């Protein structure tokens, strides 16, 4: 991951949220406007640099089985269990929780440890998840939005989409990507072993 670029873009994200979070929570701001704020912040999160180090170490069982049976034909999706629009609201809520004092370092940590993290799933699973990863479809129970996102978001959405995760190391993921590159070039020397 490009650390310099990450720091520069986190600074921009921090500035945008710091300057707009009071407007976001203003009682005159309607739901449509809040949704646009969330989308803008979510898009900014999307443009933060990524990398394999953001991989959670989790792959869906369905994707893992697909790799075992048909590694050449398996297309993995880097699924951010924290969708961008929810991430936008989450950042605004974290700013409010801190009375507008959320530090650059804390925002960077949120990205590296939560918002930027991804699991590996199949495209069909990613499609199933989408309807459950919308704010209006979240069942918070007795939890606040922040509590739910920090404790239940991934488990709830994955459960509703009938997706179970299992361990898959970052090294195995890199190895799989190298295998796919070789397969694309027609130079596979040995089969891929997911374990």
The pLDDT profile of the chain, 195 residues, written as one tens digit per residue, is: 899 999 999 999 999 999 999 999 999 999 999 999 999 999 999 999 999 999 999 999 999 999 999 999 999 999 998 888 899 999 999 999 999 999 999 999 999 999 999 999 999 999 999 989 988 888 888 999 999 999 889 999 999 999 999 999 999 999 999 999 888 888 877 777 777
At 86-138, the pLDDT tens digits run 999 999 999 999 999 999 999 999 999 999 999 999 999 999 999 899 888 88
pTM equals 0.89
What gap in Å lies between CA 102 and CA 92, rounded to an integer?
Answer: 10
What total of structural domains would you count in the chain?
Answer: 1
Spatial strand order of the sheet with 76-79 comes to 76-79, 118-122, 55-60, 165-167
Contact 48, 111 (CB under 8 A): yes
- For residue 193, tell me if it sits in a domain: no
For residue 54, what are the contacts with CB-CB under 8 A and spacing of at least 6? 1, 112, 116, 117, 118
- For residue 58, tell me if it sits in a domain: yes
- For residue 181, tell me if it sits in a domain: yes
CA distances from 94 to 77, 102, 108, 149, 158 (A): 28, 7, 13, 11, 24
Residues spanned by the domain of 58: 3-185
- For residue 190, tell me if it sits in a domain: no
- For residue 38, tell me if it sits in a domain: yes
- For residue 191, tell me if it sits in a domain: no
């Amino acid at each position: 991951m490009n650390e310099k670029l990450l720091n520069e873009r986190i600074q921009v994200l921090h500035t945008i949220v710091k300057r707009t979070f009071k407007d976001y929570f203003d009682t005159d701001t309607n739901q449509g406007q809040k949704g646009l704020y969330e989308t803008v912040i979510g898009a900014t999160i999307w443009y933060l640099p990524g990398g394999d180090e953001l991989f959670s170490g989790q792959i869906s069982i369905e994707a893992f089985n697909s790799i075992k049976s048909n590694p050449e034909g398996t297309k993995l999706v880097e699924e951010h269990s924290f969708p961008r629009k929810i991430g936008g609201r989450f950042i605004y809520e974290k700013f409010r929780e801190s009375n507008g004092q959320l530090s650059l370092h804390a925002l960077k940590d949120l990205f590296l440890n939560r918002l930027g993290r991804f699991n590996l799933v199949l495209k069909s699973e990613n499609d199933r998840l989408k309807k459950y990863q919308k704010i209006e479809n979240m069942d918070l129970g007795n939890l606040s939005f922040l509590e739910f996102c920090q404790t239940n978001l991934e488990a709830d959405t994955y459960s509703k989409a009938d997706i179970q995760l299992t361990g898959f190391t970052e090294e195995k993921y890199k190895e799989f990507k190298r295998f796919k590159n070789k397969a694309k070039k027609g130079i596979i020397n040995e089969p891929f072993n997911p374990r």
